[in-house]
Structure 1
Amino acid sequence: MDELIGLFGVSEEDGNEHSYEAQLMSHNDDCQHQVQPEVEEGNVEFKLKLVNPTDSRMEHLVTQMKWRLREGHGEAIYQIGVEDRGAVLGLCQSELDTSLATLNKMAQRLNADITTLREVVVDPVAQTKAVEVLVRQIPSDKPFIDMRVCVLGNVDCGKSTLVGVLTTRQLDSGRGRARLNLLRHPHEIQTGHTSSVCHEIMGFDSHGKPVDYSVVRNKEEICEMSSKLITFIDLPGCQKSLKTTIFGLTGYYPDYALILIAANQGIVDTTREHFALALALNIPCAILITKADLLSPAALENMKAQIKNVLEFPGVDKMCLFVEKKEDAVKAVSKRFRPEQIVPVFVTSSVNGQGMDLLKDFLNIFPQRNVTEESSSCLSNDRVSSSFCSFFGDDDEDEVKEDDCFEHDEPDADFKIDETFIVPNVGCVVGGILQKGVIRRGDEMHLGPYEDGSFRTVKVASLHRTGRAPCSIVSQNQSAAIAIKPNNPVRKGMVLLASFGSGTDETQQSREKTIHYMKMGSKLGCFNYMSENGQAGTKFKASMELEAEILILFHPTKIQPSFQCTLHIDNIVQSAVIKSITLQDGMDVSPKRNKTVSLDGKEKECERIDGFGGNGAQSSSLPSVSNIDRSPPPTGRTRTSSSNEGGPCLFTNQKGHVTFRFLRHCEYIRPGMRILLRQGKTKGIGNITKVFPYIHGANVPEDANLEM
């Protein structure tokens, strides 16, 4: 940079002999004035002139400027009137003005500004000039709507193909050509089946026009040109990848879910199960009938009747709206028509493009889901979602006393980590979603929890939003990648927390209360101790144990203490063991008995589960692969009851307070978080009611160091 600035002024150290005018007097065989030739690397670009470039030439120039800005971390230097080989020829005033106007257009395409640093007369007789221009990129901090849409459905129903058609506007060949750019692994391309979580984006500008790869060439430009950004999360449809599907539903906080039903498959068990999971997590849904070009009009009407019957099933109680014109799409999101109760149904085809425009109109006007409001609602009610509880029977509310819950310090910023990277020359980069607050470049945050329950202080070095667009600020509910310094071990499930207020200046009463909690031992507390590695603790607490109100959606026998399962809590996926079960007051634990005949011809009593507390509630679940039914077991395969000899236990469609303990390491969790229990075909759903802070070490002395 110093060498470049020296071309246009006098160096204080070397005097006039090394001034730009002196260099212009240097003679060359081909040109009167010569400087060092342009190099490919770096942020310096030489241009003789930029007069009336063609469209293709303009695209090349914009791409070239983007490269120079990236090399200079948002800044570039343009030399106008200088050839690539270093010959300083200069331009007349008209050509210079036109070149600067073209340079300004290029900069505007990349959200950058230009500033003239120096202007030097090359030839006083001909009045030719050369200028040095600074191009500086404006941080892309404009607010925009960032929505995430999960795509669910059975194998071979056209999920990846649909996303490919929506984001490229190129119809499919009928053999999966549109999905090739979406698949991540070679085996996915070979089989055509998605086994991982795939992401693709499209946007809408301020006028509602789609912004996709048919308009621009890369994700950065989609982010820059869009006022509303849609991130499609393509999830696996095979049963063996159900863990990945559940993680996509719980860890990515989707605003909407598209349930795909292939015309040549119909409504299968996997489709019902995916719909039940979305319903349990309170995720709004839309149903898409794909491959409509394979259906006859009579078969299409039959398919619509089946979908309507499923949506009107007791416990689901959704209104079916078939979207056939744009007015129907507007009606589906209008507050007057209770959009939370409406499930729009689209008839689409990725081969002939049927229904794609209506689907884009719907995605353009659908509002963002308020996850924070839902979480606070769940916390205030302290119960499982009533809509899903009625799906299985009567809902008996059991309020939790406020005195039973300890105070929990809420962070000002909460970033959930679901991906980690090591980037050369950058270091540790974490990807995830900012669930709460605002993060700016340069902020200090707390990374953790680690095995000892501690949090380590890190600094935000750089930020990139969805689509790899660099920025200096990330807002709530936006996806981002964050480079942190210094490098620390990071795993999925960790969090980046920040408290920007005066959280460290606690009152004396709060300090005394905190010390009292610390002396109590394991169940109550507000702060972590000084960790063994000398890392100062923070006011944020890690937990190894939690209590949750759980509704068992299905289990073949009974669930009792020591039962091991996998818990999905936001971006956390970890095995846990049940320590204790507390049944709700007034609930009859013992399942009803029915007489059956075994293989030896003798009558035996077997269990029959009739909903909550054996009240005989009618079956209201979706007939799905999760087998949530109440029919007696087959003759000869009886299930015997232990008459609760081992203590309280839970059966299908029963609800109780369950205490879990993680098996591997502590996690950062808070009351009110949604929890999903999974083990084989066993499913459960609920909310966290209590968390118990983890204290590293068996015994803690009364005068332990406390980091306030």
Structure 2
Amino acid sequence: MAKEHLGLALALGIPVFVVVTKIDMCPPHVLDATLKQLSRILRSSGCRKLPVAVSDRKSVVMAASRFVGQRVCPVFQVSNVTGEGVGLLQTFLNILPLASCSAASLMPKSPTPASPIASEDEAPLRYDINEIFAVPYVGTVVSGHLSSGSVRVGDMVWLGPDYNGNFVATQVRGIHRKRAEVECGYQGQSVSLALRKISRSQVRKGMVLLRKDDHEVPPTATCTFEAEVVVLYHSTTITSRYQAMLHCGPVRQTAQVLCIRPADTDESTDQTALDKQRNALRTGDRARVLFQFIRHPEYITLGSRLVFREGRTKGVGKVVRVLSASEERNVMKQVKNGTMVVDQRIDAVQAETIQLKTSDPAEPKTRKVPTLS
């Protein structure tokens, strides 16, 4: 499982650090063998990481300053029994720079006539919902992560999509962060929001909140999108109609593969392209795959990272195109027509085979013997 997590982090481009635990109960030779194996894995051609053993505060500062955007992979050795290495790990987590936004962007800014609001307010709001609660005397409370923008008490937002792909308007009544009431939340923070006039049954995991001022009309959800994917591991081949659990931000839903095209193709979806480029994927292959959600529409944006799995992780990718309702109907019609052509060919071959099997064999030509009168 640790190797799978490491491979998934490397495929998604996420910086990693390693914590070796329970060093108090491990014999010295076993600990040395584990560290050597870990160093060999991190230095391999697939990882190309530079393991750095953290032993003092000076190395902690150096590892934190070079952690984001470089090949450095800090390695900590900790023991929860003796407390060895725990302080170094806490220091590293405290001084680690934020990946989503810098510390300077989170400092309060004095409004000026040229820019009356902060840069976070100018960015479009996106809040991913991960948990839903029904709090007595408060109402519906959602918990999630601020992917972009900022949210304040009293903001009007769009909530959705529901099972039909629709968005509803609501208002933020209150914001809590780390069990404390706050007036606003910023990008990269995990906060809880109390929503006005929204019942618990109207909210589900995977929904998003978007600022109403950023979208004059309700946003649109989609069932079909195209992504450029890389297959990490699969024992057999991945073909059309293959189904897997797909994760994209807060979205967790089963998706089906409609068609597969080479990664260097354009965005054309004509019938010739769909018929010509139907193929299979194996471990290590890269291609552009057209996915379709099985149950209901979801809110998907361009550039979003995705992971699809079937038990273990099968592949990762990035969304390169989101289809509108008209494009979705057109593509579905083309895919259906392509499938019908194949089915008709199969039916024709089967009919010909059945006809050959059921037809009477040719009568052997026998030589007639003249009879004597």
TM-score past 0.5 threshold: yes
* Consecutive aligned runs of 4 or more in structure 1 exceeding 4 Å deviation: none
1:463 alignment counterpart? 175
Find 2:126's aligned residue among 390, 406, 414: 414
Q: Secondary structure at the match of 2:309?
A: strand
Q: Structure 2 CA distance, aligned partners of 1:325 and 1:452?
A: 56
**Counterparts of 1:672 and 1:370 in 2: how far apart (Å)?**
15
Partner of 1:397: none
- The match for 2:194 among 467, 475, 483 is 483
- Counterpart of 2:124 in structure 1: which amino acid? D
CA distance in 2 between partners of 1:280 and 1:304 (Å): 23
| 2:185 is equivalent to residue 474 of structure 1 | yes
Taking structure 1 as reference, are residues 666 and 463 closer, same or farther at Cα in structure 2, changes over 3 Å only? same
Amino acid at match of 2:83: G
Partner of 1:199: none
Q: Does 1:492 align with 2:205?
A: yes
Q: Which residue of 1 aligns with 2:95?
A: 365
Deviation string, structure 1 residues 422-473 (Cα, Å, up to 9, x no partner): 11111111110111111111111000112332210001111111x2211111
Partners of 1:300 and 1:555 in 2: CA distance: 33
Q: Say if 1:411 and 1:498, in contact at 8 Å, map to a contact too.
A: no
- Counterpart of 1:347 in structure 2 is 77
Is residue 163 of structure 2 the alignment partner of residue 451 of structure 1? yes
Is contact 1:556-1:682 (8 Å) kept? no
SS at 1:340's partner residue?
coil
Once the two structures are TM-superposed, the CA of residue 682 in structure 1 deviates from its matched residue by: 5.3
1:613-624 matches, within 5 Å, as none
The Cα shift of 1:573 comes to 0.4
2: CA distance between counterparts of 1:561 and 1:660?
A: 10
Q: Deviations over 1:101-148 (max 9, x none)?
A: xxxxxxxxxxxxxxxxxxxxxxxxxxxxxxxxxxxxxxxxxxxxxxxx
Output the CA distance in 1 between the equivalents of 2:97 and 2:75: 18
Give the Cα separation in 2 of the matches to 1:656 and 1:371. Answer: 32
SS of equivalent to 1:500: helix
Partner of 1:517: none
Q: How far off its partner does 1:316 sit?
A: 0.4
- Per the alignment, residue 311 of structure 1 pairs with 42
Question: For 2:130 and 2:40, how far apart are their aligned partners in 1?
Answer: 37
Q: Give the 5 Å matches for 1:291-306.
A: 291-306=22-37
Equivalent residue pairs, number: 299
Q: Which residue of 2 aligns with 1:668?
A: 299
Normalised TM-score (structure 2): 0.75
- Once residues 679 and 479 of structure 1 are traced to their aligned partners in structure 2, the CA distance between those partners, rounded to angstroms, is 29
**Contact kept? 1:287, 1:346, Cα under 8 Å:** yes
Once residues 678 and 338 of structure 1 are traced to their aligned partners in structure 2, the CA distance between those partners, rounded to angstroms, is 27
Q: CA deviation at 1:684?
A: 0.5
SS at match of 2:220: coil
| Native 8 Å contact 1:442 1:461 kept in 2 | yes
Question: Paired residue for 1:426?
Answer: 138
Distance 2:304 2:277 in 1: 29
Following the alignment from structure 1 to structure 2, what is the Cα–Cα distance between the partners of residues 691 and 585? 18
Which has more radius of gyration? 1
Distance 2:287 2:69 in 1: 31
The one of 438, 451, 457 equivalent to 2:150 is 438
Shift of 1:299: 3.0
Query: Identity over the aligned pairs, expressed in percent?
Result: 37
Tell whether 2:258 aligns with 1:574: no
Deviation at 1:319, TM superposition (A): 0.3
Q: What is the letter of the counterpart of residue 73 of structure 2?
A: V
1:667-702 residue CA offsets vs partner (Å, 9 max, x unmatched): 00101000101013451001000011347x989xxx
1:282 Cα deviation after fit: 2.1
Q: Helix, strand or coil for the counterpart of 2:284?
A: coil
Q: Does 1:690 align with 2:321?
A: yes
Q: What do residues 261-286 of structure 1 show as CA deviations (whole Å, max 9, x unaligned)?
A: xxxxxxxxx11112212222222211
Q: Alignment partner of 2:247: what SS?
A: strand
Q: What are the Cα deviations for residues 580-636 of structure 1, in whole angstroms up to 9, with x where unaligned?
A: 1111349xxxxxxxxxxxxxxxxxxxxxxxxxxxxxxxxxxxxxxxxxxxxxxxxxx
2:228 to 549, 564, 570: 549
Give the alignment partner of residue 279 of structure 2, picking from 645, 648, 655. Answer: 648
Bigger RCO of structures 1 and 2 (CA < 8 A, at least 6 apart): 2
CA distances 1:160-180 after superposition (whole Å, capped 9, x unpaired): xxxxxxxxxxxxxxxxxxxxx
Q: How does 1:237-316 map to 2 (within 5 A)?
A: 270-316=1-47
Contact 1:542–1:694 (Cα < 8 Å) also in 2? no
Task: Write the letter of the residue equivalent to 1:439.
Answer: V
Residue 307 of structure 1, CA deviation: 1.1
The TM-score with structure 1 as length reference comes to: 0.40
Asked whether the 8 Å contact 1:415–1:436 carries over to 2, the reply is yes
Structure 1 residue 554 displacement after superposition? 0.9
Question: What amino acid is aligned across from residue 431 of structure 1 in structure 2?
Answer: S
The answer to whether 1:322 aligns with 2:35 is: no
Counterpart secondary structure, 1:324? coil
CA 1:448 to 1:338, structure 2 compared with 1: closer, same or farther past 3 Å? closer
Q: Does the 8 Å CA contact 2:100/2:187 hold for their aligned counterparts?
A: no
